[in-house]
Amino acid sequence: MGMLNLVSFTIGMESYAINLAAPTLIDSLSIGLTTLMWVINAYMVALASTLVAAGRLGDRFGSTRILLLGLGVFVLGSASCAVATSGTFLVAGRAVQGLGAGLVTPHIVSLTFTVTPVHRRGFAFGLGGMVAGVAVAAGPTVGGLLTTLFGWRSIFWVTVPLGVVAGALLWHWAPRPGPQKAAVDITGAALLTLSIAGLAVSLLHAGQGNIVAVAAPLTLVAVTALAFQQRGRRDGHALLPFELLGHRMFLAMTVVAASLPAAVTAMFFLSAYVLQHAGLSPADAGLVLAIAPAVSVPCAVLGGRWTDRPRGARQVSVTGLICFLLGTIWIIATLGSGPSALVPGLVVFGIGMGVVFAGPVNLGLATLPEKWLGVASGIFSTGQRIGSVIGAALVGLTLQATADLGPLQAARWAFSAPLALLVLALSIVLGTGRTTTHPDGPPLLDSTPRPSRPESLS
């Protein structure tokens, strides 16, 4: 588990470390704001668009093999970014990084699920949530520190040895199951990748008032999604098994998994917006916002242990979502009262962050046959990444529409986005309560005996 968490931390930290280096990048490479936006977002677009295809490749060739391949691509992308001499070169390197991260991410989930005994899966996912929380909190801080001491290129160089060490450990210790006989639909993978990439690009432009930049990628989404659907129904080796869409619990938890990062992204974006309008420097605003991820770290371990109890996955999901909602409501109620007034809300929100994430993953994946774990993990991860973009887009659209009301009132209206997303997620979890309980794990839609799992990694 330590090896998988090292990989998760390295990729998670790199997602956030670049943000505070933005002013330095503009001066060093003489780039404009548009190029800077793509330096930040090329990583996310490439990551989100490859997750499902990467999961299916793992089902075909083995999760460990694809994870190691992705880690190699990620290290190559990091080194390319570190030696970039222009904005275009840096954007290309970030896209390669994102491709590598996309190949890796679903297999962190599927390998954790596969190698961990049933009675310890909640703890394992809780530990993973703790690592993710540390990465979120540490990324901007580490990025800012490295940029100040050694320059922006060090942000990328530091991930190279981390990736190499993690890859060597995984090569030695991780299980390598034999390849399955199922073929991989390359055309379907290309269609789905284009569709998800188009959706991500469209959402990134949603709050900028550029109709063409939103409509053109959406047209691509419509065409490629339709072609993917038609091909999948004709092809016996479809990239996305359509039987998977018949699992109600999996679909429900995928929506929940997308709603949570959407709400978190919207919350942090808005909180930063409010704090900066309150006169705080970016560094001080960052320290205030770090409260929630810091609180989430111990809560993630406790939430994971709770998930391992009978009915624990659903209880954890409900409790975490209620904390999310209470924290959001507190922040809305105290807007304009100074940064210190936001602290209790951020603490409660952080408790929700830590507690909730292990529950939906357990509930969703426990209903599926093992042959679909890779692609299902890819769908979960894609939902989370697209959810983050949706959260930011909703906030941007709301702030733009209410700009005439002033920063404070606009923020109050914009907080309706994370609030609505959390209410949706809580309604879904409460609506999935009528399930049967499998004797060896979390609640299932049926009681079909699960195949045995290998023991955990050393």
Quote the pTM value: 0.68
One domain for residues 280 and 192: no
The whole-angstrom separation of Cα 64 and Cα 373 is: 13
The total domain count for the chain is 3
pLDDT digits (tens, 9 = 90+) for 117-168: 666 766 666 666 667 666 766 676 777 778 888 888 999 999 899 888 888 8
**Strand-pair category, 443-444 with 436-437:** antiparallel
457, pLDDT greater than 60? no
Number of alpha helices (DSSP H) and beta strands (DSSP E) in the chain:
19, 2
Terminal Cα distance for the chain, rounded? 8
Q: Are residue 152 and residue 126 in the same domain, yes or no?
A: yes
SS3 of 444, please?
Answer: strand
Q: What is the pLDDT of residues 219-262, one digit of tens each?
A: 988 898 888 777 766 665 556 666 776 788 888 888 888 888 77
358: CATH = 1.20.1250.20
**Which tokens go with 205?**
């432009």
Confidence of residue 281 (pLDDT cuts 50, 70, 90): low
Q: According to the model, what pLDDT value does residue 401 have?
A: 77
How many angstroms separate the Cα of 421 from the Cα of each of 36, 258, 410, 430? 29, 9, 18, 14
The overall average pLDDT reported for the chain is 76
User: If you ran DSSP here, which 8-state letter would residue 450 be given?
Assistant: P
Residue with more model confidence, 315 or 203: 315
Q: Are residues 313 and 410 in the same domain?
A: yes
Q: What long-range pairs does 94-98 form, CB within 8 A, spacing at least 24?
A: 94/38, 94/39, 94/40, 94/42, 94/43, 94/46, 95/42, 95/43, 95/45, 95/46, 96/46, 97/14, 97/43, 97/46, 98/42, 98/43, 98/44, 98/45, 98/46, 98/47, 98/50
In a domain, 214, yes or no: yes
Q: What is the mean pLDDT of residues 100-129?
A: 74
pLDDT band for 55, please (50, 70, 90 cuts). Answer: confident
Q: How high is the pLDDT of residue 180?
A: 56
Domain boundary among 238, 255, 281: 238
Q: Contact at 8 Å (CB) between 381 and 363?
A: no
Confidence of residue 454 (pLDDT cuts 50, 70, 90): very low
Both 80 and 19 in one domain: the answer is: yes
227 and 376 assigned to the same domain: no
Assess if residue 455 is contained within a domain.
Answer: no
Residue 419 has what pLDDT? 85
Q: What is the pLDDT of residue 344?
A: 92
- Residues contacting 210, CB < 8 A, separation 6+: none
Find the mean pLDDT for residues 293-322.
Answer: 80
> Distance (Å, rounded) from C-alpha 91 to C-alpha 156?
13
Shared domain for 169 and 273, answered yes or no, is no
Asked if residue 453 belongs to a domain, the reply is no
- Measured between alpha carbons, how far is residue 209 from residues 110, 196, 367 in Å? 39, 21, 42
Query: So what's the pLDDT on residue 77?
Result: 95
Residue 458 lies in a domain: no
Verify that 174 and 201 share a domain, yes or no.
no
Q: Looking at the predicted structure, is the pLDDT value of residue 75 above 90?
A: yes
Residues 132 and 215 in one domain: no
* Domain, as residue range, for 24: 1-179
| Domain shared by 318 and 274, yes or no | yes
Q: Please report the sign of the dihedral spanned by the C-alpha atoms of residue 433, residue 439, residue 445, residue 447.
A: negative
What whole-number distance in Å separates Cα of residue 329 and Cα of residue 423?
12
Is the same domain home to 254 and 155?
Answer: no
- Which ranges of 237-290 does DSSP label H, i.e. alpha helix? 248-277, 282-289
Q: Examine the domain organization and report whether 277 and 335 are in the same domain.
A: yes
Decide if 355 is inside a domain: yes
